[in-house]
Structure 1
Amino acid sequence: MHKGEDQVVATSPSKASGPLLEICVDDVAGLNAAVTGGADRIELCSALGSGGLTPSRGFMAVAAKASIPVYALIRPRVGDFTYSAAEVSVMEADIAAARDVGLAGVVIGATTADAKLDADVIRRLVRAADGLDLTLHRASDVVADMDAALELAVEIGFSRILTSGGARHAEEGMETLTKLATRSAGRISIMPGGGVRPQNAARLLALPGIRELHASCSEASASETRLVELGFSSETTRRTDADTVRALKAQMMSAAR
């Protein structure tokens, strides 16, 4: 059995000190690389190349054995975050699966057609997630009024908002991230995500109130030619890299000193 591919790395649990690093992964090898590299928390996904979708129940069950908290992303399809009644039912079932296998939390969100957080749908998902910790995902980046979204997230009881500040990458959204972190006033954590890497970690953590970062820490590699020819893979594949996780965590700890 090859460690990093077929089994989950089990390391001794340790309490995170200083800023917290969340790594998003979409396969078992990535999960192991994140744990080995020193991640403090996992966002579990599938299809990261499409912005991340809900992981399978089987993947959730395997990830639940990891030594750090694992949160499942609940996103049933690519595209927007405005969901039909049937899609909401799918998400409720996926949340139930996350709880059943023993995950620590879920990452959820929904919007209306007029670019607001969908309070009704989100409250349904929160009820389904009773007992699990809550992260509001980057649906918050597509709303027209991010301040209003923050206030709703606080009211509903989210622990954190994953956001790029409404920009493609967090570095480009730093002005908005600063405003959100200031407005949050310790009521909720603002967690920058999108293009976070070792080179910009210190700059992001210098923003007032920012204590968590979200990253993929993935590196590109060439796919097997035959898999590309048959349509089973793109020409390059990105995989979570333990050394990049380790480097990002080291930069975060250095910035905190």
Structure 2
Amino acid sequence: MTMLLEVCVDDAAGLAAAIAGGADRIELCSALEQGGLTPSPGLIALAAGSSVPVRAMIRPRPGDFVFDEADVQTMLGDIAAMRAAGLEGVVLGASLPDGRLDRDLIRRLMEAARGLGTTLHRAVDLVPDMAEAVEQAVVLGFDTILTSGGALTALEGIDTIAHAHHVAAGRLTIMAGAGVNDTTAPQLLSRVALGALHGSCSGPAPAASPAAARLGFVSPARRRTSTSKVAALKALLPQSRSA
């Protein structure tokens, strides 16, 4: 069995640390403390030269995943930018107000992303029916779903993740994320033979400047990618591979 280890990063140091630790794929974001937003043009350009595949988050703002037309136009422009930069893929999703996937909007985004790798992000964790969402994701053309099983952590949502994996039946990859590390990964994999795991492999990032922290320029939730944490997680996975 082979497994893919995807590491989410939101700065140049995190990108370098994830690659050095052996990540098979990068999810490139900004503002991971807000769940991950679209990365900056400079970080995209830097990541485009990476030795591993990179998928960029397409999320124009924090909060929910119910997007208006201005948000949509922003996301379409961002997808075009990722394509132009030569990244391997994108990470996207959208919700209706009741939590169901917004299939019409996602279809527009997926058309713009045609030819790129595509991951359905954790908007899927808001759906009322995971099996229905998996079937919709297959029809929409995603190759991967990132999910915590609708829970705060993947370990708490493992029953739902296992059900999603069963429904997917190899038509796409179910990738568990949220609280995935070298402690929880063995417990997850003992329950379901997933094809991929996703983690930040990070620790708290101390504020280098007390003055910046005092003025509110530093988020207390800010974290730093750890090469050793990436390597420790990868070492537990059977024959981790490149995407």
SS of alignment partner, residue 112 of structure 1: coil
CA contact (8 A) 1:57 1:98 kept: no
Selected match of 1:234 from 216, 219, 222: 219
What are the Cα deviations for residues 55-77 of structure 1, in whole angstroms up to 9, with x where unaligned?
01221111010000000000111
Name the counterpart of 2:181: 197
**Aligned positions of 1:241-252 closer than 5 A:** 241-252=226-237
Selected match of 1:162 from 146, 154, 162: 146
Asked if 1:90 is matched to 2:68, the reply is no
CA shift at 1:203, angstroms?
Answer: 1.8
Match of 1:129, as an amino acid?
A: A
CA shift at 1:146, angstroms?
Answer: 1.2
Distance across 2 between alignment mates of 1:235 and 1:179:
35
Name the counterpart of 2:48: 64
**Aligned positions of 1:69-218 closer than 5 A:** 69-218=53-202
Query: What's the TM-score, normalizing by structure 2?
Result: 0.95
Distance across 2 between alignment mates of 1:74 and 1:168:
21
Distance across 2 between alignment mates of 1:189 and 1:162:
9
What are the Cα deviations for residues 194-227 of structure 1, in whole angstroms up to 9, with x where unaligned?
0000011122223334010000001113212111
Identity %: 53
CA contact (8 A) 1:191 1:210 kept: yes
What are the Cα deviations for residues 29-63 of structure 1, in whole angstroms up to 9, with x where unaligned?
00000000000000000000000000012211110
Segments of structure 1 that go 5 or more residues without pairing to the other structure are 1-16
RCO higher in structure (CA 8 A, sep ≥6): 2
Selected match of 2:12 from 28, 45, 58: 28
Name the counterpart of 2:36: 52
Segments of structure 2 that go 5 or more residues without pairing to the other structure are none
Selected match of 2:22 from 38, 43, 46: 38
Distance across 2 between alignment mates of 1:87 and 1:143:
21
CA shift at 1:235, angstroms?
Answer: 4.4
Match of 1:118, as an amino acid?
A: D
Match of 1:39, as an amino acid?
A: A
Distance across 1 between alignment mates of 2:17 and 2:47:
12
SS of alignment partner, residue 30 of structure 2: coil
